[in-house]
Amino acid sequence: MFDDPQSPAWTPLLEAAWKARAHAHAPYSHFQVGAALLTASGHIVAGCNVENAAYPVTLCAERGALSAAVAAGLRPDGLVAAVVVTDVAALTPPCGACRQALAEFAEALPVLLANRNSRELHRLEDLLPHSFTGRNFS
Ligand SMILES: [Zn+2]
């Protein structure tokens, strides 16, 4: 279902991500990003980037969605799929920090990158090989 970037299963995630993107707070970069996560319990949780005049405080859409999902009860191995949408020609993958944050919950997470014209499907483990996880503590 989530191994085909054209699958209709992505549609509700894409719609949620685009809707969240419209609320992005990006007055400095004007680079609006939307993200949506599907949890194993069937919930779709969206996020958008939230910039700040103190640039390092800026929060990415993916981690915003992840925080909302955790607040709603998400636990490790509870993520099914993720979508990241932008309105620029180059598809936008999660940044390094977001890859690491998502890997905590699903290392093989399917991640669909999309803009208005194209889609590209990746596995998080390919975007972040050899991720640092809780296993590294043992
Ligand atoms: Zn990020």
Q: Is there a domain that residue 1 lies in?
A: no
For tokens 């699903």, name the residue. Answer: 106
Output the CA–CA distances (angstroms, integers) from residue 57 to 30, 51, 53, 100, 138, in the order listed.
16, 7, 8, 17, 32
Any catalytic annotation for residue 125?
Answer: no
What global pTM score does this model have?
0.95
Report every protein residue that has its C-beta within 5 angstroms of ion ligand 1: 60, 95, 98
Q: Give the whole-angstrom CA distance, residue 107 versus residue 131.
A: 8
- Domain containing 122: what range? 8-128
CATH code, domain carrying 91: 3.40.140.10
Q: Is there a domain that residue 2 lies in?
A: no
Q: Is there a domain that residue 37 lies in?
A: yes
Task: Give me ligand 1 centre to Cα 112, in Å.
Answer: 15
Q: Is there a domain that residue 137 lies in?
A: no
Digitized pLDDT (tens) for each residue of the chain, 138 residues in all: 899 999 999 999 999 999 999 999 999 999 999 999 999 999 999 999 999 999 999 999 999 999 999 999 999 889 999 999 999 999 999 999 999 999 999 999 999 999 999 999 999 999 999 999 888 998
Residue of 51, 62, 104, 107 marked catalytic? 62
Counting the structural domains of the chain, the total is 1
Q: Is there a domain that residue 110 lies in?
A: yes
